[in-house]
Amino acid sequence: MISLDTIRDAADRIAPHVRRTPTVTSAYFDERFNAQFFFKCENLQLFGAFKPRGAVNAVLSLDADTARRGVATHSSGNHAVALAYAASLRGIACTIVMPHTVPDVKKRAVEEQGARVVFCEPTLAAREATLAAIVAESGAHIVHPSNDVRVIVGQGTAALELMTDVPDLDVIMAPVGGGGLMSGTSIVARALRSNIDIIGAEPSMADDAMRSLAAGRIISSGDPQTVADGLRTSLGTNTFDILREKDVRIVTATEESIIEGLYLVMEHMKLVVEPSATVTIGSLLEQPEMVRGKRVGVIFCGGNIDVRRFLHLFPRP
């Protein structure tokens, strides 16, 4: 069981090593949706995403014997560099399994934090097999990007900060991929404000969380092709159980709405965000009645976008 006190302890643990990101407002979005918005800017977090919160908490929480063997994971995204950073803080070994197709910039970002990169074929089976071989040889502890309990606890600190800044929210929203951020968010929100409406947003092209909760069992996302590439992963056993227990409502957004939301945030808030962060805005463009007249907290999960290719990749509808 993860309690609010557990997340408060994590907030103290990671505070010296992560940023306390700002909560900002927007007159444009308030007027557009007839609501009051408070945006938690994890796009301004270290490495441009919320991931260091969970990775740092997971690594700093390990007992000495486990930590001595090092940590490992497979990831081609933000979790890879976040775990490498967390391991560097503790001075332990870190191995990241990445597909050989990953851009050089991501490989360099991991190596700059002192981690070792091991390449594999770009399939989930290859990633898991390569990681299993590394763990069998080294005894390294696997830190899953979303289903690890310590990671979930760390991710919950973003919502804790948001609801410390704005304690009287009626609604809190965050994106859903593997469910770590949404799980931590839901634990904090339900503990601090029992009647709050907790909404997770995901792409309609990757709606496995919605389908899983409706079916009462985990349904894999497969290989969804969505512009919100950080949300292509499926729920895990822990995140599924938490979202169901905390009565999280799942909504979706089309590709067009996600992209339009991205443009609106950049145009009116002057923030660099990634499509995974604006799936929440996309869902509101399609269902504005969800928040009308309410005080709404929204977590922007990240801002890692190739700005040099931005106009080419995301032509405005």
- Using DSSP's 3-state secondary structure scheme, residue 54 falls into helix
Given this model, what pLDDT does residue 149 score? 97
- H helices of the chain, in order, are 4-14, 27-33, 51-60, 64-68, 78-90, 104-112, 124-138, 149-165, 180-192, 208-215, 237-245, 255-269, 279-286, 310-313
The domain made up of 4-50+148-313 has a fold known as Rossmann fold (3.40.50)
Q: Please tell me the predicted confidence (pLDDT) of residue 311.
A: 59
Same fold, 4-50+148-313 and 52-142: yes
pLDDT in tens, the chain (317 residues): 799 999 999 999 999 999 999 999 999 999 999 999 999 999 999 999 999 999 999 999 999 999 999 999 998 789 999 999 999 999 999 999 998 888 788 889 999 999 999 999 988 789 889 999 999 999 999 999 999 999 999 999 999 999 999 999 999 999 999 999 999 999 999 999 999 999 999 999 999 999 999 999 999 877 788 999 889 889 999 999 999 999 999 999 999 999 999 999 999 999 999 999 999 999 999 999 999 999 999 999 999 887 766 656 555 55
Instruction: Give Cβ neighbours of residue 288 (< 8 Å, ≥ 6 apart).
Output: 33, 34
Q: What is the CATH number of domain 52-142?
A: 3.40.50.1100
Domain map of the chain by residue range? 4-50+148-313, 52-142
What is the structure's pLDDT at 306?
73
What six digits make up the tokens of 84? 């490498």
Q: Which pTM value belongs to this model?
A: 0.93
- What pLDDT does 125 receive? 84
Q: What pLDDT does residue 305 have? A: 84
Write down the pLDDT at residue 124.
76
Strands laid side by side in the 116-120 sheet: 116-120, 94-99, 71-74, 141-142
Which residues touch 23 (CB under 8 Å, ≥6 apart)?
Answer: 38, 39, 40, 41, 161, 162, 165, 166, 297
pLDDT the model gives residue 43: 97
